[in-house]
Amino acid sequence: MKTFCRTTLNYLSSTGLQGPSDRPTSVEIKDGRVVDLPGWQECGFELVEHASAVVDWTDDRDLAEVHHGEMEKLARELTGADVALVSGHIKRSPDDARRHEQLAPIPFVHSDFAAGHADIIRGMYRDPTEAGSAALARNGVTAGDVTGAARILVLQFWRNLGPAKMDYPIAFCDARSVSLDEARPFHVSDYAGTGVSFDALGIVEPKSASKHQWYAFPEMSSGEVVAFRTYDTELVQAGKTFFTPHSAFHDPEVEVGRPARSSIELRATCLFI
């Protein structure tokens, strides 16, 4: 099996949970392009071809008016959900990181949401932001539809907007190789100055570095996205791994910042009504 690279990922320590990044661990990251992976429903992530109509990725208004709806459509197609809501996006680049340090690539093993995140989603749409209200209107649903959904699934999308080879690309861990008891919730307050607070998950270092199976997709273009599951009430209720650990990592072949990463992430809240 072809290897992308061997590098170091930062895990939580299994002996003392001081914070998310206190146990550097050497791992092998495999080339996901040459492996027969089963798709996001089983391993948690999937590479998808997607050509966007966005002309200027620096134009946040264009992203809201064009790209949010595009990704809602893709999320519905991939999940079979009745509704998918995208109410924001996150861009990471040196310029964005200068605006807020939390907009730099995140170099520790984590997943975005803890088990109780459905309650936060319901609250967000009961008192929505302007973008949240636009997502509800665009999809012809109400806050009541979010509250009453039988299942809520969050499918995220990661897209490279910069050079094909960069200093801190992103790797994804096969969810089948991670157990629930390896995740520890930690609180995130006022994420990147947005006023949004939630509980995320840090992942404890495995007893064997080879237990967790890591993959990346070399030289992604802006016509591709990685779809990855970060929350699913159905899996939470079943007591199964509902998250997909992921992390930025240093590509040993690329000098830091030469070139630096430029990317965009969107979260689609998928409702099964």
Q: Distance of CA 164 to CAs 2, 82, 174, 255, Å?
A: 18, 34, 23, 14
Q: Does a structural domain hold residue 128?
A: no
How high is the pLDDT of residue 229? 98
What tens digit of pLDDT does each residue of 45-92 get?
A: 999 999 999 999 999 999 999 999 999 999 999 999 999 999 999 999
Q: Does a structural domain hold residue 7?
A: yes
Region 150-159 average pLDDT: 98
The span from the CA of 126 to the CA of 192, in Å, is 22
DSSP helix/strand/coil, 150: coil
pTM of the model: 0.95
Domain containing 203 — which CATH number? 2.60.120
How high is the pLDDT of residue 16? 53
DSSP helix/strand/coil, 70: helix
The span from the CA of 157 to the CA of 264, in Å, is 8
Q: Distance of CA 186 to CAs 19, 24, 126, Å?
A: 8, 19, 24
Number of domains forming the structure of the chain:
1
The span from the CA of 98 to the CA of 138, in Å, is 32
Q: Does a structural domain hold residue 229?
A: yes
The span from the CA of 257 to the CA of 265, in Å, is 20
The span from the CA of 93 to the CA of 91, in Å, is 7
User: How far is the first Cα of the chain from the last one, in angstroms, to the nearest whole number?
Assistant: 41
Contact status, residue 128 vs residue 141, Cβ threshold 8 Å: no
Q: Does a structural domain hold residue 102?
A: yes
Q: Does a structural domain hold residue 132?
A: no
Q: Does a structural domain hold residue 245?
A: yes
Least confident range from 39-48, 195-204, 240-249, 258-267: namely 195-204
- Mark residue 21 as left, alpha or beta (left: phi above 0; alpha: psi -120 to 50; beta: remaining): left
Q: Does a structural domain hold residue 22?
A: no
Quote the domain boundaries for residue 196.
3-13+28-52+88-116+152-272
What tens digit of pLDDT does each residue of 213-236 get?
A: 999 999 999 999 999 999 999 999
How high is the pLDDT of residue 210? 86
Task: Residue 108: count other Cβ atoms within 10 Å of its Cβ.
Answer: 20
Q: Does a structural domain hold residue 210?
A: yes
Question: Above 90 in pLDDT, residue 34?
Answer: yes
